[in-house]
A and B are shown apart, each in its own frame.
Chain A
Amino acid sequence: MNRISERHVMLAVTAVVLMVLFFGASMRFDGFSSPFVIADLFNETAFLGITAVGMTLVIISGGIDLSVGSVIGFTTIFVATMISDNGMNPVLVWAAALALGTGFGCMMGALIQVFKLPAFLVTLGGLFFARGMAFSIKKESVQIDHPLYDAVGDIALPIGGGASLSFPAILFLILIAIVVVIAHRTRFGRNLYAIGGSEDSSLLMGLPVTSTKIGVYTFNGFCSALAGIAMTIYMDSGNPINAVALELDAIAVVVIGGTLLSGGTGLVAGTLLGILIYATIYQITYFANLPASLATISIGTLLLIFILAQQSLRRLR
Chain B
Amino acid sequence: MTIDPPNPIRRITTSPLFWPLLGLVLLLIFNAIFTPSFFNLEIRDGHLYGSMVDVLNRGSIGIIIAIGMTLVIATGGVDLSVGSIMAISGAVAALMLTESNVSLWGVIPCALLAATIAGLLNGLLVAVVGIQPVVATLILMVCGRGIARFLTGEKVIALVDDHFSAAFDYLGNGHFLGMPFPVTIFVLLVLATLVVVRKTVLGLFIESVGSNEVASRAVGIQARTIKIGVYAFCGFCAGIAGLIDASNINAADTVNAGVFTELDAIFAVVVGGTALTGGRFTLVGSVVGALLLQTLLTTLYTFGFASDTAPVPKAIVIVGVCLLQSDAFRQKFRRRSAA
Contacts and interface: CB of A to CB of B under 8 A. Distances in A.
Interface of A: 64, 111, 114-118, 120-122, 124-129, 131-133, 135-136, 139, 240, 245, 248-249, 251-252, 261-262, 291-297, 299-301, 303-304, 307-308, 311
A307 B150 CA distance: 23
B319 A293 contact: no
Q: Which of B135, B141, B311 has the most CB of A within 10 A?
A: B311
Interface in B270-289: 270, 276
A251 B132 CA distance: 14
B50 to A, nearest CB: 28
Given A125-B315, A129-B315, A304-B139, A293 B146 contact: yes
B150 A293 contact: yes
Given A121-B266, A124-B266, 13 more contacts: A121-B276, A121-B318, A121-B322, A131-B311, A133-B309, A136-B308, A251-B138, A261-B131, A292-B154, A294-B146, A297-B143, A300-B144, A304-B139
Nearest to B314: A128
A117 B78 CA distance: 15
Contact of B130 (A132, A252, A311): A311
Contacts of A132: 308-312, 314-315
Contacts of A121: 266, 270, 276, 318-319, 322
B99 interface: no
Interface string B308-331: 111110111011001100111100
B142 A136 contact: no
Contacts of B39: none
B177 interface: no
**Chain B contact residues: over half helix, strand or loop, or mixed?**
helix
Interface in B122-138: 129-132, 134-136, 138
B142 A303 contact: yes
B276 A261 contact: no
Interface residues of B, number: 46
A157 to B, nearest CB: 32
B30 to A, nearest CB: 21
**Chain A contact residues: over half helix, strand or loop, or mixed?**
helix
B22 to A, nearest CB: 22
Contacts, number: 123
A42 to B, nearest CB: 23
A300 B139 contact: yes
A291 B154 contact: yes
12 contacts: A122-B322, A129-B312, A132-B308, A132-B309, A132-B315, A135-B308, A291-B150, A292-B154, A296-B146, A297-B150, A300-B140, A300-B143
Contacts of B308: 132, 135-136, 139, 240
Contacts of A139: 306, 308
B154 A293 contact: yes
Contacts of A126: 315
A307 B142 contact: no
A296 B78 contact: no
A168 to B, nearest CB: 24
Nearest to B320: A125
Contacts of A245: 142, 145
Given A252-B142, A296-B149, A311 B312 contact: no
B309 A136 contact: yes
B9 to A, nearest CB: 28
Contacts of A128: 260, 263, 311-312, 314-315
A245 B260 CA distance: 10
A22 to B, nearest CB: 22
B153 interface: yes
Interface in B91-146: 129-132, 134-136, 138-146
